[in-house]
Amino acid sequence: MNDAETPNQPSNSGASSSPRKKPIQHPEYQKAPMERRVFLGRLGAAAGLLGTAGYLSLAPEKWPLSLRDSTGLLSKPVLKPVRLDDFRVAKPIGQTADVGIGRGGTPDQMLRKALDAVGGVKHYIQPGDIVLVKPNVAFDRAPALGATSQPALIEALIQMLLVDCRAQEVRVCDNPIESPSDCFMKTGLRKATEKAGGRVYLPDPNSFKQLNTPGATLIEEWAFFHRPFTNVDKVIGVAPVKDHNLCFASMGIKNWYGLLGGRRNQFHQDIHEIVSDLSIMIRPTLTILDGTKVLMENGPTGGDPSNVVTRDVVMASLDPVAQDAWAFQHLLQRDPHQLPEYLHKAELKGAGRVDFEGRLREIT
């Protein structure tokens, strides 16, 4: 430090003639021109920073790491569509029945009879399977009103899956029209599920994925309640049998509507097409129809116990089209010549056959 003996700058004559009031702020200050090394370093840093930013924002779109978007299309969120597995299991060798009908007894007994009629539940569910059960929980209604699946049957089914079949996990899910939480609570299905040892999946904004369904007309790609399907081995639909204002009947196939997300209220512009699309959207292991409380009129919501007729039938089926056709005729007691159009469309799409003759087996 040599600033003590030689001042760096000859002081300005004007300034030196009048004494300062305050001392210089930092007496040890030395003018320090930027060293070459420092200068180059900082220039390099600036160039590096600018160069990186320049590459990211100006490099052609196809180059790696480029953030350029000259059309404005790249930033559009892309939803990768997923596909569902085929959950069907071949029926026992030599068995002709595709539709099983169980009559008489408690719901548990009727269910067991129906399942035995198509080969027994143990044939379809293996120990260690993760099984998804899809009831119809569409409305915030008491089970007695017949608008939703009956909790007693769900409880019996889950117990059968967990105890008899030694399934690893049973999931129960639906995306109802009304508040999912409320619907599961007031239909008694949450209680029934949890009592039997199953787990309820409710839809939240992150539960949906775009599902690709080859061959579907309206839902070739559509938002689907996919989270409960993660790693699932078997899928069982459990549907009530109901009158429906627009498509005449809501049964096993229409039940899958409850897995759709997005603007599904538009589907009523073409209801038969969508229901037939549903028949190929998902290929369930089994479809169970709950004929214990049949909603004969004012469907699909019901609302008055007088709309409901009690029957002692539970069905289990490998062919949901034949099952729905039989239920339409025998449970809803409608004219078999006026089958809903969607059943014929579903047959054309390869979901099953309307003609159930010779494929029924009834256990009473």
Q: Which residues contact other proteins (rule: CB under 8 A)?
A: 7-9, 11-12, 14-15, 18, 20-22, 24-26, 29-35, 38-39, 42-43, 45-46, 49-50, 53-54, 56-58, 67-77, 217-218, 262-263, 266-267, 269-270, 272-273
Is 2 or 25 the residue whose CB approaches other proteins more closely? 25
CB of 12 to other proteins, least distance (A): 5
- Tell the smallest beta-carbon distance from residue 67 to other proteins (Å): 5
DSSP state of 310: E
Closest listed residue to residue 69, CA positions, set 81, 59, 61, 77: 61
Distance CA 89, CA 285 (A): 6
Q: Whose structure tokens read 């002692």?
A: 312
Q: 91: which DSSP letter?
A: P
Q: How far is the CB of 46 from other proteins (least distance, A)?
A: 4
Using an 8 Å Cβ cutoff, are 348 and 311 in contact? no
Beta strands 234-244 and 130-135 are parallel
Q: How far is the CB of 58 from other proteins (least distance, A)?
A: 5
Decide whether 54 or 350 has the Cβ nearer to other proteins: 54
- Please give the single-letter amino acid code of residue 65: L
Give residue 155's identity as a one-letter amino acid code.
Answer: E
Q: Which is nearer to other proteins, 57 or 364 (CB)?
A: 57
The minimum distance between CB 194 and other proteins, in angstroms, equals: 30
Cα(327)–Cα(252) distance, integer angstroms: 9
DSSP letter string over 158-212?
A: HHIIIIIS--SEEEEE---SS-HHHHHHHTTHHHHHHHHT-EEE---GGGEEEEE
Least distance between other proteins and beta carbon 313 (Å): 33
Q: Which residues of 267-285 are buried (b: 16+ CB within 10 A; e: fewer)?
A: beeebbbbbbbbbbbbebb
Give the nearest distance from C-beta 257 to other proteins in angstroms: 14
CB of 349 to other proteins, least distance (A): 14
Q: Which is nearer to other proteins, 57 or 338 (CB)?
A: 57
**CA gap 10, 126 in Å, rounded:** 98
CB within 8 Å of 291: residues ≥ 6 apart: 241, 311, 312, 313, 314, 315, 327, 331
Q: Closest CB to other proteins among 29 and 336?
A: 29
Residue nearer to other proteins on the CB measure, 17 or 96: 17
Nearer to other proteins, 14 or 94 (CB): 14
Closer residue to other proteins (CB): 5 or 335 = 5
